[in-house]
Amino acid sequence: MSEYQYYEFQAMDRPLSAGDQAALRAISSRARITAASFTNHYEWGDLKASPTEMMGRWFDLQVYMAFWSIRSFMVRLPRRLFDIELIQPYAVDWTLRAEQKGDGIVLAFTADDLEIDGEDDGSGWMAALAPLRAQLLEGDLRCLYLGWLLAVQRGEVDEDDAEAPRPPGLSRLDGALRAFADYVQLDQDLLAAAAAGDEQPSDPLTDEVLGAFIRALPAAEKDELLTRLACGDGATVPAELRRRCRKALTGTSGPPRPARRVGDLLSAAEAHAEERRRIEAERAAAERVRRERAEAETRSRRLDALATRVESAWRKVEDLIEAKRAAEYEEAVSLLLDLRALAQRDGRNEDFRTRIARLSARHARKRTLIDRLDQTGLLR
pLDDT at position 157 = 95
Asked if residue 142 and residue 79 are part of one domain, the reply reads yes
Asked if residue 327 and residue 257 are part of one domain, the reply reads no
3-state secondary structure (DSSP) of residue 301? helix
Asked if residue 42 and residue 170 are part of one domain, the reply reads yes
Residue 160 located in a structural domain: yes
Query: Radius of gyration (Cα) for the chain, nearest Å?
Result: 33
Read off the pLDDT of each residue in 194-221 and give the average, rounded to a whole number. 77
**Domain endpoint, select from 221, 245, 269:** 269
Residue 301 located in a structural domain: no
Residue 376 contacts residue 337 (beta carbons within 8 Å): yes
The answer for 307, left when phi > 0, alpha when psi is -120 to 50, beta otherwise, is alpha
Residue 92 contacts residue 148 (beta carbons within 8 Å): yes
**What percentage of the chain exceeds 90 in pLDDT?**
71
pLDDT at position 247 = 75
pLDDT band of 331, cuts 50, 70, 90: very high
pLDDT band of 202, cuts 50, 70, 90: low
Asked if residue 182 and residue 314 are part of one domain, the reply reads no
Among 174-188, 240-254, 283-297, the minimum mean pLDDT is found in 240-254
Asked if residue 174 and residue 319 are part of one domain, the reply reads no
HEC profile of 1-56? CCCCEEEEEECCCCCCCHHHHHHHHHHCCCCEECCCEEEEEECCCCCCCCHHHHHH
Asked if residue 159 and residue 26 are part of one domain, the reply reads yes
Q: Which residue did the predictor score with more confidence, 168 or 191?
A: 191
Alpha helices in the chain (DSSP H): 18-27, 51-57, 125-129, 131-137, 142-153, 175-183, 188-195, 207-215, 219-230, 237-250, 262-307, 310-322, 326-346, 349-362, 367-375
pLDDT band of 33, cuts 50, 70, 90: very high
**What average pLDDT is seen over the chain?**
90
Residue 211 located in a structural domain: no
Residue 152 contacts residue 95 (beta carbons within 8 Å): no
Asked if residue 258 and residue 359 are part of one domain, the reply reads no
Q: Which domain holds residue 80?
A: 5-204+253-269
Read off the pLDDT of each residue in 40-46 and give the average, rounded to a whole number. 90
Closest of 362, 349, 306, 304 to residue 373, by C-alpha: 362
Render the burial of 175-206: b for 16+ CB within 10 Å, e for the rest. Answer: ebbebbbebbbbbebbbbbbeeeeeeeeeebe
Read off the pLDDT of each residue in 148-167 and give the average, rounded to a whole number. 95
3-state secondary structure (DSSP) of residue 367? helix
pLDDT tens digits for range 270-320: 999 999 999 999 999 999 999 999 999 999 999 999 999 999 999 999 999
Asked if residue 265 and residue 313 are part of one domain, the reply reads no
pLDDT band of 227, cuts 50, 70, 90: confident
pLDDT band of 1, cuts 50, 70, 90: very low
Residue 145 contacts residue 259 (beta carbons within 8 Å): no
pLDDT tens digits for range 75-85: 999 988 888 89
Residue 281 located in a structural domain: no
What is the C-alpha separation between 34 and 18, in angstroms, rounded? 10
Asked if residue 144 and residue 25 are part of one domain, the reply reads yes
Read off the pLDDT of each residue in 80-107 and give the average, rounded to a whole number. 91
Residue 223 located in a structural domain: no
Asked if residue 53 and residue 114 are part of one domain, the reply reads yes
- How many folded domains does the chain comprise? 2
Q: Which amino acid is at 14?
A: R
Residue 150 contacts residue 247 (beta carbons within 8 Å): no
**What percentage of the chain exceeds 70 in pLDDT?**
96
Read off the pLDDT of each residue in 165-190 and give the average, rounded to a whole number. 94
Asked if residue 37 and residue 159 are part of one domain, the reply reads yes
The answer for 139, left when phi > 0, alpha when psi is -120 to 50, beta otherwise, is left
Residue 287 located in a structural domain: no
Asked if residue 261 and residue 334 are part of one domain, the reply reads no
Residue 358 located in a structural domain: yes
Residue 299 located in a structural domain: no
